[in-house]
Structure 1
């Protein structure tokens, strides 16, 4: 009988030990699963951060290729613009002045890829034109309304308060002057410069 009690006691101890090991194994499994879940969540968060960072970098890259220029009486801001050959830029001109202005550059070899709707050159003369006795002269340097018209130079027209844009790719390096073709404006200092690097 003692023998049976000893065997029964050992059996109970073994069962208890197994049960304890199973619980420990389950705890370890659930701990491992919880760690894996936390790691997965952390990776997803890092992935979100990474994609946000990538989006920010892409946004900054596209912003670097967008150039905002203000036209006013009698100048541009900025009046010096640095470009690189072969990159596509969007030039956005806002006329913050009280009269019609344009921005023209006819020497730089460019490929025009997009042009927004532009204002027509006004038939009315501005106060300055009348004051200085300038006659109305239209710019005649390769300006069509769209790239399909064969426009090979930069020419943008804007009424007071209007914003227009053009996309273009510079094809050559050098320094190129841009200016307003409205009579008297260039002479009054409404000029700027594209500096195109290789």
Structure 2
């Protein structure tokens, strides 16, 4: 009976791995791991769109801290501007910066709690291990407020959120 149960459990592992939603694909940032969030509405108006690195008009540095804060936590940009964000994880924990609507970020934070090993592979997100740096290029195509957050379990809930005011 034990042998049959072991075989049954082992035969179910590939199915469970596929069902977990953690896909090996390309990677973004320095983590080397990615997941496919296609089908999720994580980039919605007035958020903007991935920017062309050749069109960058300004560079903004952002530190991610273990105090569950981004520095700066509020950024002003202009509609039509393409910004390169140089993102540095200044802490000892992994952190990420995901650009999206607050509603989408909250929904994704819940998803991350169910699958904490999930990493991002989208142009609106970067995941960094302690001490690493990376960059995102984003074009702000209309005025409004754009949110960003770390959706690693517990981080957003701990206050790791920020705003970009698009003039």
Normalised-by-shorter TM-score class = 0.5 to 0.7
Gaps of 5+ in 1: 1-62, 109-133, 146-150
Matches within 5 A, 1:25-104: 65-73=58-66, 74-104=68-98
Deviation at 1:64, TM superposition (A): 7.4
Higher-helix-fraction structure: 1
Structure number with larger C-alpha Rg: 1
Please report how far the alpha carbon of residue 91 of structure 1 lies from its aligned counterpart in structure 2 after TM superposition.
0.4
- 2:151 corresponds in structure 1 to 181
Structure 2 residue 116 is the aligned partner of structure 1 residue 137: yes
| Mapping 1:150-161, distance limit 5 Å | 151=123, 154-161=124-131
CA distance 1:99–1:138, change in 2 (3 Å)? same
CA, structure 1 residues 163+177, in 2 after alignment: closer, same or farther (shift >3 Å)?
A: same
Give me the TM-score of the superposition, normalised by structure 1.
Answer: 0.46
Cα distance in 2, alignment partners of residues 78 and 64 from structure 1: 19
Q: How has the CA–CA distance of structure 1 residues 172 and 107 changed in structure 2, closer, same or farther, with 3 Å as cutoff?
A: farther
Could you tell me how far apart the structure 1 residues matched to 2:79 and 2:153 are? 31
Contact kept? 2:57, 2:82, Cα under 8 Å: no
| Moved beyond 6 Å, runs of 4+ | none
Shift of 1:172: 1.6
SS at 1:187's partner residue? Answer: coil
Contact 1:136 / 1:183 at 8 angstroms: preserved in 2?
A: no
Paired residues, number: 102
TM-score (norm 2): 0.54
**Cα RMSD after superposing both structures:** 2.6
Distance in 2, Cα, partners of 1:79 & 1:106 = 15
